[in-house]
Amino acid sequence: MTTMLHNPFYTAEVQGAYDMHSLGRFELEEGAVIPDLQLAVATRGVLNDDKSNAILIPTWFSGTHQAWDSLYIGPGRALDPEKYFIIIVNQIGNGLSTSPHTSTDDSIAMSKFPQVRISDDVRAQEQLLREVYGIEQLALVVGGSMGAQQTWEWAVRFPEKVLRAAPIAGTAQNTAHDHLFTNTLMDAITSDPGFNGGEYETHLDVASGLARHADIWAVMGLSPEFWNTEFWREDGPMSEGEPPFVSFDDFQARFVRPLFQMMDPNALLTMGWKWQRGDVARGTGGDLGSALARITAKTFVMPIDHDMFFLVTDCAKEQALIANSELRVLHSVAGHFGLNGFEKSFIDEVDANLRELLAAPVNGNDGVA
């Protein structure tokens, strides 16, 4: 047995309360096995008697249930816990669900953590919903970025279970450019001598690799417009409790770098590998059109206008292949990181779109709203 590393970032104190659900032995698509897969789950609201009010939210790269809970869910919002039973499932390897640094089983701890695919997460979530909650159909699946990748996989793999889908800032089939971008993020970590092939003693050993990882995120996760308009000067969630940022270097040094430096390197690499390979067409011999034609959900495809790697053009091409779908472009000067809710206007746009989607009648479910 290996000793798990302690990292205070991945605690209920920092991320908010969650429950752990064991799925037992879980076979991964790549062939490896997680001896006891545990999913970290946060729920809001109450499941109604006919189990028709369930909404699933899978998490994004580096994130946990916390972002969705604090930014997108609340009474009077589209994701209203007074109407819906909302289940946020932390993705495998994100630091809360079974992850490299928390595994004590020698076969999967640290550098031995197996390669996990988006489809593994989706299969695990389907099992969780069925076994723990008896949920056979979802009023909505919604997620951002890697959460969008999981949303796509849900809608294609279990079309009969997904009445509505809202993939935000993420594609059904990852692009070559996005794959190369993710390589640079991962290489920033693995090239740090402190990474030690994944066998570091604390994530602090990899502080400089994590800082370079953060520096690449600054270029591609935010946007030219964010930096060039000095958006970081705005009051908002970035500046809470901080003295004002005085320069872009200062913002980078006091906000973006420290954020990623709190995280676990192996967790980021597990998620990065998974992200690079998101592809709903793996089940249809590589034919994206056939895969997307399986979708029966009413689908709002929601890219962000300034996103540098999940591009509006790429999302629009996919949306055009789905029968019951609409393209809803979101607006954020923060680009992909707009998901973090730096702008109230962005959150309001998401809210308005989800409200409309949830109100739309779909086959077998007329909308709870």
Report the interface residues with a copy of itself, using CB under 8 A.
175-181, 183-184, 187-188, 191-193, 208-209, 212, 215-216, 218-220, 222-224, 226-228, 230, 248, 252, 308-309, 311, 313-314
Alpha-carbon dihedral of residues 61, 349, 66, 123, nearest 10 degrees? -50
Residue 213 a catalytic site member: no
CB of 39 to a copy of itself, least distance (A): 32
**Phi, psi dihedrals of residue 144, rounded to the nearest 5°:** -110, 140
C-beta separation of 308 from 223 below 8 A: yes
Helix (H) or strand (E) holding 266: helix 265-276
CB of 309 to a copy of itself, least distance (A): 7
CB of 143 to a copy of itself, least distance (A): 22
Which tokens go with 274? Answer: 């998974």
In the bound state with a copy of itself, the residue whose beta carbon lies nearer, of 178 and 279, is 178
In the bound state with a copy of itself, the residue whose beta carbon lies nearer, of 327 and 368, is 327
CB of 89 to a copy of itself, least distance (A): 30
The CA–CA distances, whole Å, from 276 to 82, 226, 304 equal 36, 25, 19
Residue 65 a catalytic site member: no
Place of tokens 């996919």: 318
Whole-angstrom Cα distance, residue 203 to residue 334?
Answer: 28
Catalytic residue among 52, 97, 119, 145: 145
In the bound state with a copy of itself, the residue whose beta carbon lies nearer, of 9 and 227, is 227
Residue 145 a catalytic site member: yes
In the bound state with a copy of itself, the residue whose beta carbon lies nearer, of 63 and 335, is 335
Rg, Å, the chain Cα set: 19
Catalytic residue among 307, 314, 325, 332: 307
Q: Of 21, 23, 84, 91, which is closest to residue 62 (Cα–Cα)?
A: 91
CB of 303 to a copy of itself, least distance (A): 13
In the bound state with a copy of itself, the residue whose beta carbon lies nearer, of 327 and 360, is 327
Beta strands in the chain (DSSP E): 19-27, 33-44, 54-58, 85-89, 140-144, 164-168, 298-301, 325-327
Helix (H) or strand (E) holding 227: helix 224-228
In the bound state with a copy of itself, the residue whose beta carbon lies nearer, of 167 and 209, is 209
Beta bridge partners of 41: 19, 89
- What amino acid positions are annotated as catalytic residues? 145, 307, 336
